[in-house]
Chains A and B, each alone.
Chain A
Amino acid sequence: MKRDWPDIWGGLALALVGLAAAGWAWVHYDPGTLRRMGPGAFPLGLGLALAGLGAAIAVPALRRAGAPVKPEPWAAACVLAAILVFGLGLRPLGLVLATASAVLISTLPAPRPGAVWRLVLAALVTALTVVLFHVGLQMTLPLWPRL
């Protein structure tokens, strides 16, 4: 039995988000009347609409074959980790170390082996970032970790 998994999961997730939003709006915000709509009316309507659309996407997908998907969990994990390391490390590590480590982490899934080009790229991007944002735009960011 072939199924269109992307549509099933996508539709299901959106329907759940819609239901959650509608429920939250129903409990916490005043829907008001048609004449004087409260803050809850619009999110409630949208949440229900999203739940309906999600179901409309997921249910027909149960009975048809879908094109295959190629997820890249390793690429996604490394890219997201690089962003988080940069964001959370910016203050404690300083711009230079945060940039260099984020670049190195983000190049892990790149399709070319070898450490040399990665180190060169990290040095280049770090230099560019310091010149553009620290020297050029004069952002007030620490360059090095405060000891």
Chain B
Amino acid sequence: MSTWDGLLTGFAFALQPGVLIYCLLGVTLGTFIGVLPGIGAMAAISLLLPITYYISAEAALIMLAGVYYGAQYGGAVSSILLRLPGTPQSAVTALDGYPLARQGRAGVALFTSMISSFAGSVIGIVVLVLLAGWLSRAAVAFGAADYAAMMVLGLVAASTIGSAHPAKGFAMIVFGMLLGCIGTDVNSGVQRFVMGRTEMLDGINLVALAMGLFGVAEVIGNVRDPDRQAVAGRIGLRAMAPERDDLKRMPLPVLRGSALGSFFGALPGTGSTLSSFLAYAVERRVARRPERFGQGAIEGVAGPEAANNSASITAFVPTLTLGIPGDPIMALMLGALVIHGVQPGPMMLETRPEMFWGLVASFGIGNLLLLILNLPLIGIWVSLLRIPFRWLYPAILIFVCLGVWSVRGLTFDIVMVAGIGLAGYLLALARFNPALLLLGFVLGPLIETNLRRALLISRGDPMVFLERPISAFFVVATAGLLVYSAIQAWRRRETPEPGGASADGP
């Protein structure tokens, strides 16, 4: 199918009222969640997972994706106005967005972040279409060994790149993979770690795990937050009008940010948080007067916002063409598809064109909806910031419980959520990243299956991973990353630097 035909199919699918409504629901909810500090996109997507049982796989994917990139738009709002990042991806936006707001130019900062986000998304969509077609043709040559090696690379990258403490990241991933072993082993039929409970035969429920780790643990961590002070005044459409000088400063940072974001988004394991940090660093490096950064530089808002939005779109490339999620949010998306019996892979562009092209079209539609939602309605989102968390979290808890219960109708699952929530809270207290646990949980069984298959084919010869060129490349890259992070850790011990900015998080 040519790109043109594909886009036509996609728009025809995504513009059906029954699909469009889920796109709208997704982006609205995403913005809402993004605006509210305290709950992130992971929690929102986990909350919506049970709903996806009732709708088609395509609509489910479109809705969940909408939550993800909608949260990127919303996250910038609280970053700029409160210096509290609504999502980890928008944390850098606060560095220059908040000073702008203090100078009474909050409207301009918001406008910049919206327009940059939109432009970044559009560039991300183009890259997604080009890259996905190419990769799905190349991926036909992938064998079991290549898949296993690539997933290991993704996990290693996710826990080392930009992380202040790689060992803790690794530990979370291995722990997640271990939890993924629970249940009936698909290769031998043996029941592992079931402890005689029939409820555990299918393993830990992804919905329960995600809701416990993100919904419940995040609620516990934020319950005691005092009510926020009212935010500076009202912001209408007029306050958002930028000056000519501001407009001139935007295009280049947006292009640079989008390029960075598109690249790192598509790489498994790096993701949008890292790309927004990098975009900020790049803008500061190329600026003629770098001292303006931190004082309210428009470029410091435009670059990172373009980067994190284009990354959130190209992150779908490995997920859809290889079936390998590059970050924890993509792992949840993949989980939602697997719930529907859809296993993404190189053939998906051919076998389920509505899913791929419908999603691509929905990116375009959704981003347009977000622009419409955000520019004229910015006042509503700003007033949402005034809702204290104590009015929201009891409802979140009830929705978590009923959402988990609706999957199988088992009280056991609700009790399980409480247990996972406690574990997640303790892990977060000790500064472990539970998002990596979820990534390991989803990728673990895939790695095990491919590893066992690869060794079966090679008659038990582990050299197969170095003999196949594709897998050899991934193995070498993994080894390189490990050596690099070991050197980094060693250097850090030599020169301890207090409180360096780290890009932990999904």
Contacts and interface: CB of A to CB of B under 8 A. Distances in A.
Interface of A: 6-7, 9-11, 14, 17-18, 21, 24-25, 29-30, 33-39, 42-43, 46-47, 49-50, 53-54, 56-57, 67, 69, 71-72, 75-76, 78-80, 82-84, 86-88, 90-91, 99, 102-103, 106-107, 109-112, 121-122, 125, 128-129, 133, 137, 139
Interface of B: 54, 165, 167-168, 170-171, 174-175, 177-178, 181, 185, 187-188, 190, 192-193, 216, 219-221, 223-227, 388, 390-391, 393-395, 397-398, 400-402, 405-406, 411, 414-415, 417-418, 421-422, 425-427, 429-432, 444, 448, 451-452, 455-456, 459-460, 462
A21 B398 contact: no
Given A57-B167, A83-B417, A84-B418, A76 B425 contact: yes
Given A25-B192, A50-B171, A54-B171, A18 B397 contact: no
A115 B37 CA distance: 26
Contacts of B448: 42
Nearest to B417: A83
A53 B185 contact: no
B114 to A, nearest CB: 30
Contact of B193 (A21, A82, A91, A111): A21
B398 A103 contact: yes
B174 A102 contact: no
A129 B402 contact: yes
A87 B167 CA distance: 36
A121 B390 CA distance: 9
Given A14-B171, A33-B460, A79 B395 contact: no
A79 B425 CA distance: 11
A143 B498 CA distance: 55
B415 A84 contact: yes
A14 B168 CA distance: 10
Contact of A87 (B193, B390, B401, B455): B401
A98 B8 CA distance: 49
A79 B174 contact: no
Contact of B397 (A6, A14, A82, A137): A82
Given A6-B430, A37-B452, A39-B192, A83 B421 contact: yes
Which secondary structure dominates where chain A touches chain B? helix
B495 to A, nearest CB: 14
Nearest to B388: A112
Contacts of A76: 220, 422, 425
Nearest to B449: A42
A90 B190 CA distance: 34
B431 A35 contact: no
Nearest to B421: A80
Given A9-B430, A35-B456, A75 B224 contact: yes
Contacts of B395: 103, 125, 128-129
A121 B415 CA distance: 24
B166 to A, nearest CB: 10
A103 B426 CA distance: 23
A18 B178 contact: yes
A111 B224 contact: yes
B414 A86 contact: yes
Closest 7 CB pairs of A and B: A35-B460, A87-B414, A10-B430, A6-B430, A39-B190, A110-B390, A53-B171
Contacts of B391: 121
10 contacts: A10-B168, A36-B460, A37-B451, A37-B452, A39-B187, A42-B451, A72-B220, A75-B223, A87-B414, A106-B223
